[in-house]
């Protein structure tokens, strides 16, 4: 792989410290946290605690014990909605959501949870007033993605949270595309639950993620099993965090996640956001002028991050991505990106789009090569 532009799926490469931390956890610790009182197990528990503390500070979560480790954002979103919503509760979401949020909500709808899906505009942005119009006395939750994985559009979370508070509803933020890419302050944004993967903007390994839960939120565990504590009880404990982390932790992954957070803290998330936003702006400027090339997402640069989606007249999105990979050595994502309703919203359904998502380690030369490749493909004509 010569040029990697699929950081919205998984960031690559990682900071060297991330690889070192994963290996050190396997070679130098080895033991599992909470599964023994000997030195290595205590060292593992200390690593777990330190990572919770780092994540709580990173997102301004009021209580680090309410940072729950998961295997990905999908598990975190399931844990949030299935641990919170009961039959008769009402939840509001948007047409721009990833299946990781929508599919659990549709499952709950079959059990008696009521669901409203607010349509976004043609650029993929949600109007807070449209959320307000859907609120009911039974509305328990407003759940939405901070940043669209299709368009890169940034939703007005602070305004939507204020609307939710007016109705006494909680706010669940899917931060899959924003964690590590935009500064996130849970308390300033009015977010009650935040789900994020470790392997994207947080620069950690695959198989890591988290759910951050505000102190006033009561949640029921999604999984039951061994917790390393309260072993005399027949039923799953509901205390934070142990009751929500049944089974053995992915300690090497969590060690890598801690190193990713440390890299971001030292670099500055605002600095990361500025670089990636600049990359996205460069791509748009270069690709906008290409004949037959259509770009999707917000026209206002302040309302989007660095990723962008495009289509080229006469080209199937998957065929275009294959051409970029086969001929030019450029890795991008094509298709519906697990968000079919988002594509219906912006007008790219059913073929989907080609998504280009630079990251912190992307170089200007790589972006220039990508733009040149697309211009050459258009000049050669349809396949």
From 253, 233, 251, 256, select the one nearest 243 (Cα to Cα): 233
C-alpha span between 124 and 98 (Å, rounded):
13
From 260, 315, 287, 261, select the one nearest 375 (Cα to Cα): 287
- Are residues 100 and 135 in contact, defined by beta-carbon separation less than 8 angstroms? no
Task: Produce one character per residue of 163-184: b if its CB has 16 or more CB atoms within 10 Å, e if not.
Answer: bbeebebbbbbbbbbbbbbbbb
- Are residues 71 and 279 in contact, defined by beta-carbon separation less than 8 angstroms? no
| Catalytic-role residue among 61, 293, 338, 370 | 338
Distances in whole angstroms, Cα of residue 193 to Cα of each of 202, 278, 350: 17, 30, 32
The two tokens of residue 43 are 């060292």
Q: What 3-state DSSP class applies to 92?
A: strand
**Quick count: other Cβ atoms within 10 Å of Cβ 236?**
19
For this structure, is 370 an active site residue? no
Q: Is 299 exposed, middle or buried (0-12, 13-18, 19+ CB in 10 A)?
A: exposed
Known catalytic residues? 338
């Amino acid at each position: 792989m010569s040029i990697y532009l699929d950081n919205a799926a998984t960031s690559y490469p990682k900071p060297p410290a991330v690889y070192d931390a994963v290996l050190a956890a396997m070679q130098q610790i080895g033991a599992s946290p909470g599964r023994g009182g000997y030195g290595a197990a205590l060292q593992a528990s200390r690593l777990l605690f330190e990572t919770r503390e780092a994540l709580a500070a990173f997102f301004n979560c009021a209580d680090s014990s309410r940072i729950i480790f998961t295997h990905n954002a999908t598990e975190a979103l399931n844990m949030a909605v299935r641990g919170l919503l009961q039959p008769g509760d009402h939840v509001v979401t948007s047409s721009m959501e990833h299946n990781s949020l929508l599919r659990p909500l549709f499952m709950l709808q079959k059990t008696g949870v009521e669901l409203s899906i607010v349509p976004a505009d043609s650029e993929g942005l949600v109007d807070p007033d449209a959320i307000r119009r859907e609120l009911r006395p039974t509305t328990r939750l407003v759940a939405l993605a901070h940043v669209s994985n299709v368009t890169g559009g940034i939703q007005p979370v602070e305004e939507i949270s204020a609307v939710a508070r007016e109705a006494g509803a909680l706010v669940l933020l899917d931060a899959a595309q924003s964690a590590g890419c935009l500064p996130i302050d849970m308390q300033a944004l009015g977010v009650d639950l935040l789900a994020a993967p470790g392997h994207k903007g947080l620069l950690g390994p695959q198989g890591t993620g988290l759910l951050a839960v505000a102190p006033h939120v009561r949640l029921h565990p999604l999984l039951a099993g061994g917790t390393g504590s309260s072993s005399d009880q027949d039923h799953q404990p509901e205390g934070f965090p142990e009751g929500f982390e049944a089974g053995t932790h992915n300690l090497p992954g969590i060690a890598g996640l801690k190193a990713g957070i440390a890299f971001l803290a030292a670099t500055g998330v605002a600095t990361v956001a500025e670089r990636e936003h600049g990359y996205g702006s460069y791509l748009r400027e270069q690709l906008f002028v290409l004949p037959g090339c259509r770009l999707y997402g917000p026209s206002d640069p302040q309302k989007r991050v660095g990723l962008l989606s495009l289509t080229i007249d006469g080209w199937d999105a998957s065929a275009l991505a294959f051409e970029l990979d086969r001929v030019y050595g450029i890795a991008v994502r094509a298709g519906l990106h697990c968000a079919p309703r988002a594509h219906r919203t912006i007008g790219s359904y059913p073929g989907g789009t080609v998504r280009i998502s630079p990251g912190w380690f992307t170089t200007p030369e790589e972006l220039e090569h990508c733009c040149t490749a697309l211009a050459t493909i258009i000049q050669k004509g349809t396949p």
